[in-house]
Amino acid sequence: DEKEKFASWFRQAGESRTENNDTFAAYQGSNVLVVQVEAFMNFMIGKEIGGQEITPNFNKLMQESLYYSNYYHQTGQGRTSDADFSSQSSLHPLPTGSVFVRYPDHTYDVLPQILKSAGYETAAFHAYEGSFWNRTNMYKAMGYDRFYSKKDYQMDESLGWSLGDKSFFRQSLEFMVAEPQPFYSFLITLSSHHPYSLPASIRELDTGEFKDTLFGNYLESIHYADAALGELVEGMKRDGLWENTILYVYGDHDNSITEQANYEKFLGKPLSELDMHQIMNQVPLLIHLPDGKAAGVYDQPAGQLDMAPSLMHLLGIPSDAYYMMGNNLFASGDKFVVLRSGAFTDGKLYYIPSPDNLFENGNCYDLTTREKTDIERCRIPHEEAKERLQMSDKLIMGDFIPELKEGAPSR
Ligand code: GP9
């Protein structure tokens, strides 16, 4: 019964992602370069401190890109590895631990594998120990042709945990241009990792009252990561990749700085529970299409689970036969985004669970008034959110995808 229920849920999800509109296959055969930026949050996009933009390069790129202003990270305890897993597999991470560490040998429908089968050269790039988060094993299982880890890079810019992002991007581009095209490249940055301790010589912002605080240092690290991103774009243009590559950039998770007073001081206003929850869970998403079309700010709710089916849509690869749970950003219809905590939004309502996880003790917000509303309005979507999380957990832990595929009619 359960197998049939799963199969029918995924059938419906697949149908709702499928739309043969003018973006479907519009970028067929393009290279895809995804950058997952460490601790890159949404609240400081477009903002300044001491008269300086924190992310000038991202802000500039936004003008010729699609920017999703209500994009959520959907991570749990597996942090960076969860962001990676959810984005590539379009499934939720687990309630405890990391899928990369716990179930690397189970079967998932993941973007690198799918693109490899479509003729893409696939590679992951991260200048840290390959064993961290069990990446070496997991990336093999995910179908990457190559994983460039710390041992493949010249340590010519030492910053924080490892190689600085500027050098990381420069060297990764060198690897990429040597690859056959089309390629799928997945890059994970590291310089903006906690505790954000950039040497003074690299700090460029005047963070005023935040100087030498964790929050001020975080802004400095993001400013550096943004400068590195600017150099990556320049490098792509120089190397002739800009006009045949989809660039997809997003943040992996929050910065672990939870004191509300920092955000109130930075934004210059008091923040509600809803504001604070959104700040801690929203990361930016930017998509630059090879022809620069469709640029603008998109405020539909979206999340990391949406990456694989959305990129597949642009490349003309239908995602309906795959066991994916995310939305297609390029299909019409309502969007529902579920966070690992059980929080969710459909763009109209926003639910924040309570620490005891009792539905009635959570808060249901109306996003139009941004005030609390009758908890009952959140009950049906809460049931749906709970079901999705449970279904995803069972699929991952029980390694159900091969079994479901066996019985499925070809779609
Ligand atoms: C290290 C990096 C850190 O390789 O991905 O991961 P995090 O601590 O942010 O999960």
pLDDT of 140-199, one tens digit each? 999 999 999 999 999 999 998 999 999 999 999 999 999 999 999 999 999 999 999 999
All residues at 6 or more sequence positions from 377 whose CB lies less than 8 Å from its CB, including other chains: 349, 364, 366
Q: Which atom of ligand 1 is nearest to the CA of 129?
A: 4
Give per-residue pLDDT as tens, 50-73: 999 999 999 999 999 999 999 999
pLDDT of 3 above 90: no
- Which 8-state DSSP code applies to residue 115? H
Q: What's the gap in Å between 160 CA and the centre of ligand 1?
A: 12
Is the CB of residue 374 less than 8 Å from the CB of residue 365?
no
Q: Which residue is closest in CA terms to ligand 1's atom 6? A: 80
* C-alpha 318 – ligand 1 centre gap (Å): 32
Does the reported pTM lie above 0.80?
Answer: yes
Point out the ligand 1 atom lying closest to the alpha carbon of residue 188: 5
Which residue among 163, 190, 191 is best mutated to probe the pocket of ligand 1, counting the most ligand atoms within 8 A of its Cβ?
Answer: 190
Residues in Cβ contact with 180 at an 8 Å cutoff, skipping those fewer than 6 apart: 121
| Residue 282, φ and ψ in degrees, nearest 5 | -95, 135
Q: Looking at residue 206, what is its pLDDT?
A: 95
Residue 236's pLDDT is what? Answer: 98
Strands ordered across the beta sheet of 337-338: 337-338, 344-345, 349-352, 363-366, 371-373
- The pair phi, psi for residue 44, each rounded to 5°, is -105, 10
CB 39 within 8 A of CB 194: yes
Question: Any idea which residue has 């620069």 for tokens?
Answer: 292
Q: Name residues contacting ligand 1 (CB within 6 A).
A: 79-80, 126, 128, 132, 188, 190, 193
112: number of CA atoms within 13 Å, CB side?
Answer: 24
Q: How far is the CA of 135 from the centre of ligand 1 (A)?
A: 11
Please give the ipTM for the structure prediction.
0.97
Hey, which residues are catalytic here? Answer: 80
Atom number of ligand 1 nearest to Cα 80: 10
